[in-house]
Structure 1
């Protein structure tokens, strides 16, 4: 929050707000997530320092659509993981994906990649301590040891790791403090959910500081097995590691973090197969044609399990040589997964798989930041990323052999190997070219090389290798008529690399590359402080032109081992328009009220791919242009209030929040057909309603008491999430007229947390 306030009349302020726009959630507590190596200065307690542009700037001075959430807000809301951000930022959707460990489906401004395959990078980047996580697996992040989170909306190619077309969730964890200290919590809640977390800081001398951390979270899950009533969907998650901070001189520091995440869980899914699917004739009648609300919480499938192990290391080094600050961020991450899943989700053994995957990634980023005089500053750098993965999948299809390990049953397992190599150079510049005016411009040149091979039963089906390159510029201008108002306009281009289809089952499909997709985003915005700094009110408007969309299509394949294949291809274009608004109001001491609103309107154009004619069985053109884009709710909104009351023993903090998420679809699918269904084009009338999430009305609340306990700061928090018990799906998927399955969102839950800090 900027320190100055609007001095004009209230009506005049409203007029100015109505004529300008921005998108920014402002937090009442300070959060010092400064770029390492930057100079630290005293800040107004109502300001937030962000590093969205790899510079230390106040939130209100940053001409970027950004939401910042600090540790105090996370604690007050009893937030547990990255999924609790949904609704806090406008036009942000985050759901958990059961087909992969700690996997997240993220959508910002209607741009998403809802898949767990590791052949393609996510549309929305999750960056942890400066390192881009290259797959959706591992993105569903725990929130205990967090200093600040920044959600950047729109393409972020000039500064953040891999080129991202949708946006970035930038997570910065706490650094070793150099002072002896402990922060620990234990929580227990519904569904036998138990969480224990601890962070310990230890000084190791004048120039060394150590931080150790351990998180544990387990739950029995919120599904019920129909046959015996036992809980399904349980999980056990462990995350542990240590960070060592060395500061041998005033101008140099190095931060090394070594960690590991281990997760064991039951990837339970709910059956959504109906009478139009072939598998409905093979499953018990009572398991077909079920609804997508309350029925989702009862499951019928066979036992499943998943084990995920992911060690990682990050080294960040900063050198201040006076006029220039140099930064190096090195990241390494690998994972090993073994997962069984009953995809048909019925009590009949129809489609059961074992998926084993190995993945590793390495990234190296080098940056230089400085100034050319008082009116020009810059960040320039280079980036390298490489990843390798192997997938082995054994499948039982209509085997009617429950209990038989797919690795024993399937004599022709699928084996996929993929490689990615990427290099990039980038620059981002600010030039104050006139009084109160600033020009921001920059760009990134990226060259990607990808290779993939696909085999069944040890016999190579197909392979391919290709390179993709793109220059993605960004330019913007901002104007500050006073200390209380900033307006800006920008244009940026986002790029997502092409690649190959890992689920291809034919030689032609496996060797054919799909091309890159691009987004041109146009945005106007403004940021305002009003009523003596009591109110921040912000609006934004944007138009995104989405070209050469990468979409998965499940098609019939007579020569494939499973008689169908999923192929990624470039299909047409889309236009997404949106308005975003948010505010923070502090009407009295101790009370903070905040809200956010996001509106989206999106439309496909020229989305034509091959489909199977229901009349002849031949492949004919299907036109999907009338379908909704996935993860594109028409509206997201939130309203929350936090009230802090000082007491004789400490303080009491109450928080209540409401989030509204409009309905959205999770898969491009066939809901109905018109037009020429014999020769084409057949007109698809919309997505299958089984992959549609209904409207969500989510109410969360917490009450925290903080007090002194023998010289130690302690707290007790009572919390409740989804108090209205709004039930429905988070994910739905249909498979080529064979079957369909889905997952359910967390129902009403509640619990208590005990914590200490010293």
Structure 2
């Protein structure tokens, strides 16, 4: 069946490529006049290859979202991107809501421990975000977002083996301008944002200030106290300066401060007395039951019918202290064009302070509650030298090249003061990463329509880690100190051929890696472990096509990624109590392969249609481990497990229609439908973590005045009120929980722009 589906998608790709010359030829004669050309689809400028170029001329699988599309889809945080691009999942970690679980083309992680590296590269204004704690970022006053799929190990660097996200904030304009918006909706959700641009020195220095505030009551109800939980309480402020020093130098500096004082929603505990087993795994010694319902501490919850909690959008968790997490970041982008070459100096600093409470068990008992107190600091410095167009070092325009260096320093310290089965405990970890890299990239026009590009990057990673488990604070185990060094060479080679000026095909070979790491807080000396880097080798064949005077756009890609030394947190049996420990180890290999189609059309003036389709076959090719927690069961072949949060099919369909009302303004109707086939939210595919395929419908109706100064909108998300789970797991044999995705939401907003 999988082979048939892949064949269909390959056939679709081939049909598009073969049809390109004929369609393009028909579109080109006769030539369209300027008015007709203006009605076509615009081409977004991207910086995926560290220089500005049109999206349709970039031989990479890139989804680009400009500010208009982000506003239209009401994107407010990073997880909203899941509904706009194929083969990607960005899920909020509900047990620590400032954190993110990211997945691209099936590759990602459910671990947000700072001792483990992120699985994808997230950059904001060119600055790499060092950890997944604090990666749940608000997206306000953003100019564009690029979602890069496939290894980006040459230019983005480490931790981009499956792709990355590049976020560009809006730079100040050269004239005074201001924009603001305020909205109110379900769950008393109040959201206000705005910005002001001010020319400080005409023609030379420009400033901008922007702010974002959101407060809501949340949609989770506590069935013990009757209160609502999970409310949002965030605020963000950003200031930016853009200096133009003559015709050759620009300097953009931006600083941002974010504060998150939201509530912990509490999960929905679904523990039962049924055995907790991995479906499809043979147990020599089966588990007796889920420990949450058999230990003396919480047996009463199951005996009186309190567990499992099958009431949607509810929890039994008692309110804990609100989050009080802070982020401060500074980014500097200095660009100098000397004539023959262009210089770029990118400097960034970020400090994130984590103060968060998490009631993981979702009950009124202290089965497993955690209070995190962490500090995370990162500094990076990138320097690039690139050829300038017409500067004399580009072989008459046939060669484009760049070389660069990169330095990255990241350190963290984190306390976890938790309660487990009523007993308080404390763990601590700290660590530092120093990373150095040299890289080069070049593109050469073999013929006027045939281009060869490639790059290479050498990286040196140096890491230290220190941890103290509860047994240290009890005077039993010592602190565990580790250090390790890793080196990596990543490369990519791409050959692209322009069939016509508007139709391109390309083939790409790329490699990448995710850095090595450690078990964050090993429970005992037996759990201390070091995991080597994960590596990937990938092939991709793609096609980018504009037809009928840019009224129809079809971009396709077929890919195959082969991952080695996958890092997994597994249960390792030992001969002493507690007879098993959890360790981060390289125990698996896998392949993710599939195809993606992105389509846009503007058949008539004012109407834009869009559709994305992604097919993904993700599977383990080697995975041998004991995940049962019992030494007698021994290792087992686990290649039957599915990757978590990974759907075989993803699809998005949408339309926007703009009706011109003349002097009365405009009415804009926009709707988007996002579908995902079934997935499981747990690493071990537990039955309670299974989510059937579902779709979410959202829509907006907006009126704008004739001068585009004022607007009024009515919007809705999950309009069909579809229920689904967006998280869940079994934690240490102590509890099983799920988190429910947001129900139907509606709202109204008013805005101004002048």
Residue 346 of structure 2: SS of its match in structure 1?
Answer: strand
Query: CA, structure 1 residues 270+503, in 2 after alignment: closer, same or farther (shift >3 Å)?
Result: farther
Among 205, 216, 220, the residue aligned to 2:217: 220
Cross-structure match for 2:89: 93
Among 265, 284, 287, the residue aligned to 2:306: 287
Cross-structure match for 1:592: 608
- Say whether residues 1:321 and 2:338 are aligned partners: yes
Query: CA, structure 1 residues 140+353, in 2 after alignment: closer, same or farther (shift >3 Å)?
Result: closer
Among 585, 588, 591, the residue aligned to 1:569: 585
Offset at residue 624 of structure 1 (A): 1.5
Among 676, 690, 693, the residue aligned to 2:691: 693
- Say whether residues 1:372 and 2:394 are aligned partners: yes
The answer to whether the Cα contact below 8 Å between 1:186 and 1:197 also exists between their aligned partners in 2 is yes
Offset at residue 171 of structure 1 (A): 0.8
Cross-structure match for 1:477: 495
- Say whether residues 1:339 and 2:337 are aligned partners: no
Cross-structure match for 1:653: 668
Q: Superposed, which structure 2 residues align to 1:302-317 within 5 Å?
A: 302-304=318-320, 305-317=322-334
Cross-structure match for 1:195: 191
- State how far apart, in whole Å, the 2-side matches of 1:612 and 1:547 are: 24
Cross-structure match for 2:250: 253
- Say whether residues 1:503 and 2:516 are aligned partners: no
Q: Superposed, which structure 2 residues align to 1:460-475 within 5 Å?
A: 460-475=478-493
- State how far apart, in whole Å, the 2-side matches of 1:695 and 1:503 are: 36
Aligned length: 691
Q: Superposed, which structure 2 residues align to 1:123-162 within 5 Å?
A: 123-162=119-158
> What is the CA RMSD across the aligned residues, in angstroms?
2.3
- Say whether residues 1:68 and 2:34 are aligned partners: no
Offset at residue 352 of structure 1 (A): 1.7
Query: CA, structure 1 residues 43+249, in 2 after alignment: closer, same or farther (shift >3 Å)?
Result: farther
Offset at residue 558 of structure 1 (A): 8.0
1:421-446 Cα distance to aligned partner (Å, 9 max, x none): 11111111101112421101111111
Residue 603 of structure 1: SS of its match in structure 2?
Answer: strand
Query: CA, structure 1 residues 142+290, in 2 after alignment: closer, same or farther (shift >3 Å)?
Result: same
- State how far apart, in whole Å, the 1-side matches of 2:627 and 2:113 are: 23
Q: Superposed, which structure 2 residues align to 1:698-709 within 5 Å?
A: 698-707=696-705
Residue 324 of structure 2: SS of its match in structure 1?
Answer: strand
The answer to whether the Cα contact below 8 Å between 2:120 and 2:159 also exists between their aligned partners in 1 is no
1:128-155 Cα distance to aligned partner (Å, 9 max, x none): 1111111123333323301111111011
- State how far apart, in whole Å, the 1-side matches of 2:446 and 2:708 are: 52
Residue 117 of structure 1: SS of its match in structure 2?
Answer: coil
Offset at residue 595 of structure 1 (A): 0.2
1:556-599 Cα distance to aligned partner (Å, 9 max, x none): 67878x98643211012111111101110101000000000000
Offset at residue 177 of structure 1 (A): 1.1
Residue 69 of structure 2: SS of its match in structure 1?
Answer: helix
Gaps of 5+ in 2: 1-10, 21-37, 276-289, 388-392
* Segment of structure 1 superposing worse, 199-208 or 338-347: 338-347
- Say whether residues 1:606 and 2:604 are aligned partners: no
- State how far apart, in whole Å, the 1-side matches of 2:379 and 2:517 are: 19
The answer to whether the Cα contact below 8 Å between 2:40 and 2:551 also exists between their aligned partners in 1 is no
1:434-488 Cα distance to aligned partner (Å, 9 max, x none): 2421101111111111111111344634221000111011011001121121000
- State how far apart, in whole Å, the 2-side matches of 1:261 and 1:565 are: 37
Residue 98 of structure 1: SS of its match in structure 2?
Answer: coil
- Say whether residues 1:553 and 2:553 are aligned partners: no
Cross-structure match for 2:440: 427
The answer to whether the Cα contact below 8 Å between 1:462 and 1:508 also exists between their aligned partners in 2 is no
Cross-structure match for 1:396: 419
Offset at residue 712 of structure 1 (A): 7.4
Among 215, 235, 259, the residue aligned to 1:238: 235
Among 552, 570, 577, the residue aligned to 1:535: 552
* Segment of structure 1 superposing worse, 49-58 or 276-285: 276-285
Cross-structure match for 1:30: none
- State how far apart, in whole Å, the 2-side matches of 1:298 and 1:13 are: 45
Residue 172 of structure 2: SS of its match in structure 1?
Answer: coil
The answer to whether the Cα contact below 8 Å between 1:576 and 1:601 also exists between their aligned partners in 2 is yes
The answer to whether the Cα contact below 8 Å between 2:379 and 2:408 also exists between their aligned partners in 1 is yes
The answer to whether the Cα contact below 8 Å between 1:101 and 1:306 also exists between their aligned partners in 2 is no
Cross-structure match for 2:657: 643
- State how far apart, in whole Å, the 2-side matches of 1:523 and 1:100 are: 35
- State how far apart, in whole Å, the 2-side matches of 1:361 and 1:607 are: 34
Residue 516 of structure 2: SS of its match in structure 1?
Answer: coil
Q: Taking structure 2 as the reference length, what is the TM-score of the superposition? A: 0.88
The answer to whether the Cα contact below 8 Å between 2:580 and 2:629 also exists between their aligned partners in 1 is no
The answer to whether the Cα contact below 8 Å between 2:349 and 2:379 also exists between their aligned partners in 1 is yes
- State how far apart, in whole Å, the 1-side matches of 2:258 and 2:75 are: 20
Among 488, 491, 500, the residue aligned to 2:509: 491
- State how far apart, in whole Å, the 2-side matches of 1:644 and 1:558 are: 69
The answer to whether the Cα contact below 8 Å between 1:556 and 1:736 also exists between their aligned partners in 2 is no
Cross-structure match for 2:410: 387
- State how far apart, in whole Å, the 1-side matches of 2:111 and 2:40 are: 43
The answer to whether the Cα contact below 8 Å between 1:697 and 1:724 also exists between their aligned partners in 2 is no
Residue 633 of structure 1: SS of its match in structure 2?
Answer: coil
- State how far apart, in whole Å, the 2-side matches of 1:262 and 1:437 are: 50
Residue 349 of structure 1: SS of its match in structure 2?
Answer: coil
Among 241, 263, 266, the residue aligned to 1:266: 263
Gaps of 5+ in 1: 1-11, 22-41, 400-408, 670-686
Cross-structure match for 1:679: none
Q: Taking structure 1 as the reference length, what is the TM-score of the superposition? A: 0.87
The answer to whether the Cα contact below 8 Å between 2:456 and 2:492 also exists between their aligned partners in 1 is yes
The answer to whether the Cα contact below 8 Å between 1:287 and 1:346 also exists between their aligned partners in 2 is no
1:205-254 Cα distance to aligned partner (Å, 9 max, x none): 13211111111011111101011321111120011121111222221121
- Say whether residues 1:634 and 2:648 are aligned partners: yes
* Segment of structure 1 superposing worse, 546-555 or 534-543: 546-555
Query: CA, structure 1 residues 278+428, in 2 after alignment: closer, same or farther (shift >3 Å)?
Result: same
- State how far apart, in whole Å, the 1-side matches of 2:481 and 2:689 are: 32
Cross-structure match for 2:729: 733
